[in-house]
Chains A and B, each alone.
Chain A
């Protein structure tokens, strides 16, 4: 059982927007602005999409955006494309001793 809770799956049609939630606690997501999101295609290593809740590394399209409210962080993907079909993982800092916790992952299907 993962420390952060994500929906197992979400889906959307090309061009639509989808939002993936990531729910933690006041010890992780709610206490630190160090939430990151990763995209993983089958058989590939994860790729960083969002860090520090809202920041995008260079090269990541602005179709990907992050936000946080209380103990829940969210990743929104707008203008869905077939290439966005992948697994998505959230991660949060959780203090010195626990350090990092991941979500269980969400499979995005583009219909």
Chain B
């Protein structure tokens, strides 16, 4: 069974850098065709994909956020890390870690990150 869990701060100040960690179980990020990444959802709003890292270490970023995002992996720890710089109030959202092979499935439970001074 594949599971993913997000961890990181629940509150960050404007201009600070957010670091989120996804710890996953039930698969390896070296399995062909597999990727893990991040999708966020501001309160009451739609889903927005942010970044994904693939089994071959290829990385894809949302074009609108590319300059602020870095995604890395530690295959030995079964972890994926997302770094987002220069946080702003509009970045307040639930951040989901997601497994992808044929589609985004499954999703972690999500972690709400609030940006406030």
Contact = CB atoms under 8 A, between A and B. Distances in A.
Interface of A: 2, 36, 38, 45-48, 51-52, 55, 57, 89, 91, 96-105
17 contacts: A38-B47, A45-B96, A48-B103, A48-B105, A51-B102, A51-B103, A89-B46, A91-B47, A98-B63, A99-B49, A99-B52, A99-B62, A101-B49, A102-B49, A103-B46, A104-B46, A105-B47
Contact of B103 (A2, A36, A97): A36
A39 to B, nearest CB: 11
A102 B63 contact: no
B105 A57 contact: yes
A97 B61 CA distance: 8
Given A45-B96, A99-B52, A99-B60, A38 B104 contact: yes
Interface stretch (B21-29, B82-90, B106-114): B106-114
Interface in B65-107: 96, 102-107
How many chain B residues sit at the interface, stated as a range, is: 10 to 19
A60 to B, nearest CB: 10
Most chain A CB within a 10 A radius of its CB, from B96, B103, B105: B103
Contacts of B47: 38, 46, 89, 91, 102, 105
Contact of B46 (A36, A48, A57, A102): A102
8 tightest CB-CB pairs across the interface, nearest first? A51-B103, A48-B105, A45-B107, A36-B103, A100-B49, A102-B47, A104-B46, A99-B60
A91 B39 CA distance: 12
B48 interface: yes
A36 B102 CA distance: 9
Nearest to A96: B60
A9 to B, nearest CB: 14
Contacts of A2: 46
Given A52-B103, A91-B103, 8 more contacts: A38-B104, A47-B107, A48-B104, A51-B102, A57-B105, A97-B63, A101-B49, A102-B46
Nearest to B94: A45
